[in-house]
Structure 1
């Protein structure tokens, strides 16, 4: 990036207005002896739901995910649905407040009688309903968070993650830094919660304890990270790994620019979506400040030219009002496709048990860049990630990929899932 351009304080000040996202039974209890009267399933429809921030401080970074998923389901329904049933996706706003999450999820289960909860968003919010969903035998699928909490099949047999977890992302970013920029000082800025903890754990898994030159943490309730950025600068950090969501990524990058400091930024996928970051930083400054931004991904890159992305763009135009197309769009449609694939595999007369069995079978493919890891003993979706870099406004893979197996971090071979005709499972 241009290291010496002039940054006006007034232009950077807008960044500071960002309000950021804060970041049972045993498996054997999932019985196949379900009642014929399956919640949420009729002869013609399958009703599912989600909790997500449509309003409030987190909405700007994430509300487009459920809209994209809804658009895919509208497309799927227009093409006959799954086994002749259309998908009714009920999206409820929780404002990223755990108390609200509890209220809306109970409404979904008790009043709307959903078949499954799909892609509930956020670590603190979803944690608030984790026990409730499992105690009520509600399939809790593809949680929108990289916490390792979702991968505990013994305690939470109905819950499955979707994101590559934060340990994997931290390890991948640190490994790439060591491989490509040997000798440079690698540091970390992370939320003071599980997000930051697990990114730190992954980075140290790759670099060894003490391998990070400096670590700073911040509270999401305080939207001033000047002290943290100043400390990273003073420590001589050359590469900063970020355990931040999009709002705080923009805040960190903008604050550093205001201080006249331009290190390399390596971000978790939760905070590395280029179009979203440009939205925060502005069209004038954003592309300059984000040139070279390194991130992780495990889905088709929004800036790439895969058949999946081409279809998702078409669906976005036809069923999502031509909304801005970015990584959130690909994410939402990828989740929706994976649910459709699981539902198709659950059989012509699906039950909650057959849905769980379909996911644990290991037979689902999704549309990712690496294989899905789901099994009866593993409820994590992706065990590895590819590295992306922003170059001249295009965010795409650069060919490096890493995976975590136990305490081992190693390079991985990406194997993008072949496109399914029309993007409809079973076609």
Structure 2
């Protein structure tokens, strides 16, 4: 597999001195057993995985481990990284910062892992601690802390400046006025909503306001009428799919089907089996290559999922794919760290990469200069009229950051 070991000339002397001090003979393969970084042995590298196996957000994120299993299985089948297979210990953080802090400390202090993969929305609980300890982390950048700490890496951020890509797409599909449908879950949800509205406005799509909907507490018929009253022809949804389908059904029944429906999630073939034509027309923006685009990268992912993550009967899901990419990024960091990896070598090496594409699963990103910056290029998929499949309606659409 690819070897892009970018050793900066300015630190070459320091790296050599550090290698000698830790008993590594200039990164020679025969010295593998002499490395003494936490979690590193002659034959293996032990890492930690943190995700919500239980708790309020466990449902969608439980599939995260499948993507990790698949990517590690594929690399280990090839002999691992520099002759070391990657194994992991996992802990449940229940999706809360308090439990996240406990899980991370246990993995670092008691399990002596080299680094962490965090597929969670609660990484803020351990972020300061892991930064202080110099522990490398890759994962899901669902919080602002991912933009703050140098040891934390992600391939896509929800923080940073808004981008006009979403609005440009809606405009191209005939949308002229949008309304935001959201479930009031957290400040993070509100921030995503604000950025979507900014994107619409930047592209010339007027703002019809925000409608909050909590299934079980609100009447979908009443919510649909509020959408109609907004005068919007475009529905932006930051809800789970069940909530969106409920409101869409009421809108269509009343003869007010939106011209454009864009949901921030819902790209899952399993959802089509559940909801069918009720999801027809729903568009989802993706910051990774759509499964329907096929190609070598998608084929490799599906093959790895089928071979090493048999617990998932439908590999074409966004959560496993995202955790697969998070794991690939961790593997890239180990490759950058060399034959005798250290935590600092991982952080410095991965932070210097300027062209990372997860073996073709994402558009190339600049890790060196892009921390905290939102993705500007997206693909767009849309549920067909029968509700049986997703069609790629835009392979790639690139916009720009909104600076004012």
Question: If the length of structure 1 is used for normalisation, what is the TM-score?
Answer: 0.75
Q: After superposing the two structures, state which structure 1 stretch, 228-237 or 72-81, moved more.
A: 228-237
Q: Does 1:176 align with 2:165?
A: no
Counterpart of 1:233 in structure 2 is 228
CA distance in 2, matches of 1:198, 1:381: 11
SS at match of 1:57: coil
**Is the counterpart of residue 75 in structure 1 residue 74 in structure 2?**
yes
- Out of 303-312 and 207-216, give the one that drifted further: 207-216
1:404 pairs, out of 392, 400, 404, with 400
Question: Number of aligned pairs?
Answer: 361
Query: 1:252 corresponds to which residue?
Result: 244
Aligned mate of 1:187, from 165, 179, 190: 179
Matched, 1:310 2:299: yes
CA contact (8 A) 1:51 1:92 kept: yes
* Helix, strand or coil at the partner of 1:370: coil
Q: What SS class does the counterpart of residue 121 from structure 1 fall into? A: coil
C-alpha contact 1:166 1:202 (8 A) present in aligned 2: no
Give the SS at the match of 2:206: coil
Alpha-carbon distance in structure 2 between the residues aligned to 1:138 and 1:100: 18
Partner of 1:420: none
Q: Does 1:132 align with 2:129?
A: yes
Provide the residue aligned with 2:337 in structure 1: 346
Change in Cα spacing, 1:97 to 1:180, as seen in structure 2 (3 Å) is: same
Retained in 1: the 8 A contact 2:39–2:114? yes
Please give the secondary structure, in 2, of the residue aligned with 1:303. helix
1:330 equivalent in structure 2? 321
Q: Secondary structure at the match of 2:315?
A: coil
CA deviation string 1:260-300 (max 9, x = no partner):
354332022xx222325346xx2xxx120212211111222
Q: For residues 154-178 of structure 1, give each alpha carbon's deviation from its aligned partner in whole angstroms, at most 9, with x where no partner exists.
A: xx12122233426678743222112
2:53 aligned partner: 54
Contact 1:52 1:93 in 2 (8 A): yes
Structure 2 residue aligned with 1:359:
350
CA radius of gyration, larger in: 2
- TM-score scaled by length of structure 2: 0.79
User: Could you tell me how far apart the structure 1 residues matched to 2:291 and 2:373 are?
Assistant: 23
Unaligned runs of 5+ in 1: 1-27, 409-427
Report if the CA contact (8 A) 2:159-2:372 is conserved: no
The aligned residue for residue 86 of structure 1 is 85
State the match for 2:3 in structure 1. Answer: none
Could you tell me how far 1:374 is from its partner in structure 2? 0.9
| Deviation per residue, 1:43-97 (Å, 9 max, x gap) | 2111111221223332321211222211221222122001001111222222223
Aligned counterparts of 1:293 and 1:353: Cα–Cα separation in 2: 44
Partner of 1:423: none
CA distance in structure 1 between the aligned counterparts of 2:365 and 2:310, rounded to whole angstroms: 31
Q: Call closer, same or farther: CA 1:96–1:51 in 2, change over 3 Å.
A: same
User: Any idea what SS the aligned residue of 1:316 has?
Assistant: helix
Q: Distance in 1 between matches of 2:161 and 2:228?
A: 26
CA distance in 2, matches of 1:166, 1:394: 31
TM-aligned CA deviation for residue 342 of structure 1: 2.3
* Residues 110 and 354 of structure 1: CA distance in aligned 2, closer, same or farther (over 3 Å): same
194-203 or 347-356, larger mean C-alpha shift: 194-203
Residues 205 and 230 (structure 1), Cα distance of their counterparts in 2 relative to 1, 3 Å cut: same
Equivalent in the alignment of 2:140? 144
Counterpart Cα distance in 1 of 2:390 and 2:200: 24
1:375 aligned residue (350, 368, 376): 368
**Cα distance, 1:272–1:167 mapped onto 2, change above 3 Å:** farther
1:24-61 Cα shifts (integer Å, max 9, x gaps):
xxxx9xx9669833112222111111221223332321
CA RMSD for the aligned pairs?
Answer: 3.0
CA contact (8 A) 1:174 1:241 kept: no
Secondary structure, counterpart of 2:99 in structure 1: helix
For 2:89 and 2:217, locate their aligned partners in 1 and report how far apart those are by CA, in whole Å. Answer: 32
**Corresponding residue of 2:382:** 389
Out of 258, 261, 268, the position equivalent to 1:274 is 268
C-alpha separation in 1, matches of 2:393 and 2:320: 21
Q: Distance in 1 between matches of 2:89 and 2:187?
A: 30
Residue matched to 1:417: none
